[in-house]
Amino acid sequence: MPDGDIVHSRLRRLYQKPYKWLCEGTATSDECARAVLEKLKQDIKAKGDLPIVLAQAMAASVARIISDPEEARESDFAKLSVEFDNLVRQADGSPYIKELILRAGKGYLNDLRNGREVDVTRTSEAIWRRYAHEVYESEFKERIPLTSEHHAGVTQEILEKRIEAMQPSVDSGIQKFAQNAIRNQSVAKLSMPRRSSRKAIDLDEDLLAG
């Protein structure tokens, strides 16, 4: 079946290939994760640099208002929430993309307020990483159940297990994207994580055995 064929009407053409791989079950979890990350990278690059600008502006607001998260007051978080709303509203860009980065920023704030573990030393990277997760969730993961019948007759339960199995690799790839994006101030040169070296190890073992 050609890559361009649509096998899930609620997924964009960009994400048909990784969805098919997950359904067919012949690729490994790492291979499926890599296929998703390749398409997610394209999607994020197409969405542009505005989320980087906004993540950095949100991080600057957090640094200005909260010097010590353990001593922050509820009023500080309320003020930051309003600031985030204003930053996003005043930005020039797609409402959908602005909504994704706002969700990311509010999620970071919520975890900070509730004492959950967040990266307080690289705030802009942490917020942008959440934005990339929002893109992954909204464009791919959350759309997969939105069909009455899956490709290759696979059940939703099996698909969920396969998605769960590749999640650590997806998370690791998104973390690398975030490091690239903030360091380069651009999504133009996002790099993929390295491929598994298991094949090279097997080759070495064969040579030793010979």
173 CB contacts (<8 Å, ≥6 apart)? 33, 34, 37, 40, 192, 193
CA–CA gap between residue 55 and residue 123 (Å, rounded):
8
The token pair that represents 69 in the structure block: 């998260």
Write phi, then psi, for 19 (nearest 5 degrees): -65, -45
Residue type present at position 163: I
Triad 153, 154, 157: Cα angle to 5°:
145
Whether 204 shows a pLDDT value over 50: the answer reads no
Give the pLDDT confidence score for residue 194 in this predicted structure: 87
pLDDT, one tens digit per residue, over 97-130 is 999 999 999 999 999 999 999 999 999 999 999 9
Backbone angles phi, psi at 36, to 5 degrees: -65, -45
Q: Which of 2-6, 71-75, 156-160, 199-203 has the lowest mean pLDDT?
A: 199-203
| CA pair distance 205, 195, nearest whole angstrom | 19
Query: DSSP label at 25?
Result: -
Residues in CB range of 30: below 8 A, 6 or more apart: 166, 169, 196
